[in-house]
Amino acid sequence: MKVVVAGVGKVGHAIIQQLAMENHDITAIDCSADALEYVQNTADILTIKGNGASVETLTEAGAGRADMFIAVMADDETNLLACVVAKRLGCRHTLARVRSPEHSRNIRFFNDQLGISMIFNPEFAAAREIFRMLQFPSFLKRDSFAAGLVELVEIHVKDGSPLCGVTLSNFQSIAQVRSLVCTVERDGEAIIPSGSFQIKEGDNITVTAGRRDFNKLIKNLGIAAPRVRNVMIIGGGTISRYLAMRLIEAGMSVKIIELDHERCLKLSEFLPEAMIIEGDGTMQDLLIEEGISSTDAVVALTGIDEENLLVSMYAKHIGVPKTITKINRIEYKDVLRASGIESLISPKMISTTEIVRYARDMGHSRADSVITLRRIAGGNVEALEFIATEETRHLGELLINIKLKKNTLVACIHRGNQIIIPTGSDSIHIGDTVVTISRTSDAVTNLNDIFND
């Protein structure tokens, strides 16, 4: 598939790397020769120096013949204009990054009237994911499927956990709800385990279960955590604004510490229910003065990874129950987790994952193509959601009789009002929502890809 990407900043670079891994024909546009040289050194792509919204540059890049055009330049309006131009030139699908809350409210207009195929907002998506983590602070990460009825959650196995030494075939006896361990992260390795696998202290496990069983699951696994009632946010950028809105709507107390005076004024105007503190959120004295030791959760959202890590490490050191850390350099995620930084959020990777899902969906006209894609186990494993259709093979056959590809499993089946955590005696029927687990490198594009035939 031919893809043109306008803008090779952090998000653009990440998108290019992921799409290049799936063997798409990619052309990158940027005004910076240095940025283009850098991305060309990491992926086999064509680069063009120029304005990604100009007719001349887009024509030279072949946007009119492209299957997909992705605009991730610095300015929302430029991205929207670029998509309109690419569409007029003949591009099949156009995707624009739009960050501002004002533009985000007009997504339907952009889709219907301007013909833009997809609007994505990394900051809004990151805020949504952080909010979900704070709703259930026991989990390191949460991903939902089947309209929220099914979730995959990541759990850290601590010293003294009832899971230590338990084989997965006996997991149900501890959980006492229908659930399945889909992945295990151990010593930087992501494992899709079998029933004989034994859980150890220090593992991060991903478990799937029905949403209504979570409270019982938390209690039985001994990971209950106090409800988050007050949150301290370090950094007052766009993610902080989106997140604070959600937290306030949920009845939580919010305090934002931001160094920039003008930004503080805007936050105070937009978020009158929040407490806005002007100051350096990385300074220990200020954090102590503002009551970090008595807060339920600290979310580090500055634009600098090192500052976010420093704040989170300090918060964890003094006993803050929940910390969430924004990072850009995801290549260090394993090192960070080994040092105790557990709940990580990367806006660029959230967007990249959604664009990869869209690209895979474009490549298949069948109804059983990917409808949801989530990266788990440090990004090394994919959880994918499909709807089984008449084109799905092995319908009605018992799972025990079906050969699946190596490192692949069926994690959940949603049928009518039923949430089925499958065993060998279950089967897939037309209309079922099916959640599968496979390695990211396998690049599964439709439900039939999981079968080994």
CA distance 72 to 121: 10
Tell me which of 38-42, 68-72, 295-299 is least confident.
38-42
User: Mean pLDDT over all residues of the chain?
Assistant: 91
Rounded-to-integer distance, Cα 370 and Cα 293, Å = 44
> Is the model's pLDDT at 446 over the cut of 50?
yes
Does the reported pTM lie above 0.85? Answer: yes
**pLDDT of 50:** 96
8 A C-beta contact, residue 189 and residue 180: no
Q: Indicate whether 236 pLDDT > 50.
A: yes
Interacting residues of 300 by C-beta distance below 8 A, sequence separation 6+: 234, 235, 281, 307, 308, 309, 311, 312, 315, 323, 324, 325, 326
Domain 2-120: CATH class, spelled out: alpha beta
Whole-number pLDDT of residue 114: 83
Q: CATH second-level architecture of 358-450? A: 2-Layer Sandwich (3.30)
Residue range 279-291, pLDDT digits in tens:
999 999 999 999 9
Q: What is the pLDDT of residue 338?
A: 66
Average pLDDT estimate for 162-176: 92
Lowest-pLDDT range of 22-31, 84-93, 214-223: 214-223
Per-residue pLDDT tens for 370-415? 888 999 888 889 999 999 999 999 999 999 999 999 999 999 999 9
Q: What residue ranges do the domains of the chain occupy?
A: 2-120, 230-320, 358-450
Segment 47-59 shows an average pLDDT of 96
As a whole number of Å, the CA-based R_g of the chain is 23
Query: What pLDDT, on the 0 to 100 scale, is given for residue 365?
Result: 47
Query: What would be the CATH architecture of the domain defined by 230-320?
Result: 3-Layer(aba) Sandwich (3.40)
Contact 163, 218 (CB under 8 A): no
Model confidence over 116-153: pLDDT tens digits?
Answer: 999 999 999 999 999 999 999 999 999 999 888 999 99
Residue 406: φ, ψ to 5°: -60, 145
- Matching CATH topology for 2-120 and 230-320? yes
> How far is it, in rounded angstroms, from Cα 31 to Cα 259?
31
CA dist 110 and 95 (Å) reads 11
pLDDT digits (tens, 9 = 90+) for 238-263: 999 999 999 999 999 999 999 999 99
Structure confidence at residue 368 (pLDDT): 60
Share of the chain above pLDDT 90, in %: 72
What is the amino acid identity at position 132? R
**Burial, 365: exposed, middle or buried (Cβ in 10 Å; 0-12, 13-18, 19+)?**
exposed
The tens digit of pLDDT for each residue in 107-121 reads: 788 887 888 999 999
Cα(414)–Cα(176) distance, integer angstroms: 20
Position 432 scores a pLDDT of 94
Q: HSE (CB half, 13 Å, CA atoms) of 416?
A: 2
Tokens of 373: 């894609």
Q: For residue range 325-373, what is the model confidence (pLDDT) as tens digits?
A: 999 887 766 667 666 777 899 998 888 988 988 888 775 545 567 888 9
pLDDT digits (tens, 9 = 90+) for 261-280: 999 999 999 999 999 999 99
